[in-house]
Amino acid sequence: MEHTWRWFGPNDPVSLSEIKQADATGIVTALHHIDVGEVWPLEEIRRRQAEIEAEGLTWSVVESIPVHEHIKWSGPRRDEAVENYALTLENLGRAGLRTVCYNFMPVIDWARTDRRWKLPNGGYAMRFDFAAFAAFDRHILRRPGAEDSYDAEDLERADRWFAEADDEARAAVRQTVLIGLPGSSDARELDTLRSGFEPYADLDAIGLRSHLVSFLRELMPAAEAAGISLAIHPDDPPRPLFGLPRVVSTADDVQALLDAVSSPSNALTMCVGSFGSVPTNDVVAMTERFAGRIRFAHLRNVTIEADGKSFFEDDHIDGGTDMIGVVRALLVEERRRKDAGEHAAIIPMRPDHGHFLLDDLERPTYPGYALVGRLKGLAALRGAERAIAAQLDAQLDAQRA
């Protein structure tokens, strides 16, 4: 696999030179300074590419070209935004970029309730406490109809959490939930979040999925001409939030999307932590099942808590998902591609998220994107990959003997 690292551009507290010292060779980034829905100019793409290459690194994956909300709910700017997305793909292809990771989550991207949850070793992890999230929805955001999104036990736990939490705990949850988008440290206001829900009032999962399929069908000619794979990222966490539908949460969701748009350019980002955030997803089996369409991998791990709905970001190879099984499935797929002579045989992976450890506690950083924590994760994953590759080689030698 290609070892990559997410970098948020020149304002990222983690520099390209530090990433190089971590022994990553590929960069995963985007043009974050360009407004959502606008075309990425070729000169801006090449400028960023040159900046990365000047450090001896390669821009390997685009993560991401954000999908405009009007595409998701079919608003008045929908057609313009799809056309601009296609033009951006054309420009990325001209620059030699071949993989784009994107998501189709309405209004809010990943969701957590705690950015720094203390671990037994003294480090910190991100966590999603379902009771705290429901309390935010019901008592802080005060979303109309929030009670309809939870069962009686959930509501009881949410009410208890809110009653027992002090002002500091409530403020921390509010700030963490409102961050909304990766790479951002600015919390959006409650009214802004509430207004974002309004266009989705009558849109269910069937409708949202149909909008995703229409979007992809219109993009496929541009993606295929540019030689680009559009690798969708699963929902994080893979369950409805704020009453909004989510449509990339299960194996059935993935299969339905791949069946609806059969082009090889319609691909998957295997995010182990996202799919692994609910007990019903067998992530190893999903990796094996969809291996031929996986173009990018986020190797992070979570441990689901006793309620089955809360989870925390665990060590990369020690969480609730069998990460060794996932890596093995990806390496087997790489070997199949090489044997078949396929062009994109190598799968880029990155150590997604990481604990806040040592110097991470002192430097400013984007939530989940600490330097030392990710360096530790990459080292562990690299060691696991080497061991699994050696085992596969030995098995092949035994078969030939």
CA distance 72 to 171: 30
CA distance 108 to 361: 26
Structure token pair of residue 62: 């685009």
Helix 323-340 vs helix 371-400: crossing angle, to nearest 10: 60
**Catalytic member of 68, 70, 211, 298:** 298
Residue 170 pLDDT class (50, 70, 90 cuts): very high
Give per-residue pLDDT as tens, 260-302: 999 999 999 999 999 999 999 999 999 999 999 999 999 999 9
% of the chain residues with pLDDT over 90: 90
Is residue 113 within 8 A of residue 141, CB to CB? The reply is no
Extract the runs of DSSP E, i.e. beta strands, from 191-293.
229-232, 266-271
Active site residue 101: no
CA distance 364 to 185: 10
**Catalytic member of 129, 353, 360, 366:** 353
Active site residue 233: yes
Active site residue 352: yes
Among 156-165, 180-189, 253-262, where is mean pLDDT lowest?
180-189
Three-state SS at 14: coil
Q: Say yes or no to pLDDT of 340 above 90.
A: yes
Sheet holding 301-304, edge to edge: 114-118, 124-128, 311-314, 301-304
Residue 188 pLDDT class (50, 70, 90 cuts): low
**Structural element, H or E, at residue 134:** helix 130-135
Q: Say yes or no to pLDDT of 183 above 70.
A: no
- Give pLDDT, residue 398: 87
Active site residue 298: yes
CA distance 319 to 96: 36
Q: Which of these, 318, 275, 300, 270, lies nearest to 368 by C-alpha position?
A: 300
**Catalytic member of 233, 253, 314, 316:** 233
Three-state SS at 311: strand
% of the chain residues with pLDDT over 70: 98
CA distance 177 to 11: 22
Q: DSSP secondary-structure letter at 55? A: T
CA distance 185 to 40: 23
Give per-residue pLDDT as tens, 88-143: 999 999 999 999 999 999 999 889 999 999 999 999 999 999 999 999 999 999 99
**Catalytic member of 124, 271, 322, 355:** 271
To 5 degrees, how large is the angle CA 190–CA 39–CA 111?
Answer: 30
CA distance 149 to 44: 43
What structural domains does the chain harbor?
2-111+205-400 (3.20.20.150), 115-196 (no CATH)
What's the average model confidence in pLDDT over 357-374? 92
Give per-residue pLDDT as tens, 29-83: 999 999 999 999 999 999 999 999 999 999 999 998 999 999 999 999 999 999 9
Is residue 82 within 8 A of residue 38, CB to CB? The reply is no
CA distances from 257 to 45, 268, 278, 289 (A): 29, 10, 20, 14
CA distance 149 to 191: 20
**Catalytic member of 315, 352, 360, 366:** 352
Give the residues across from 352 on adjacent strands: none
Active site residue 318: no
Residue 246 identity? R
Active site residue 369: yes
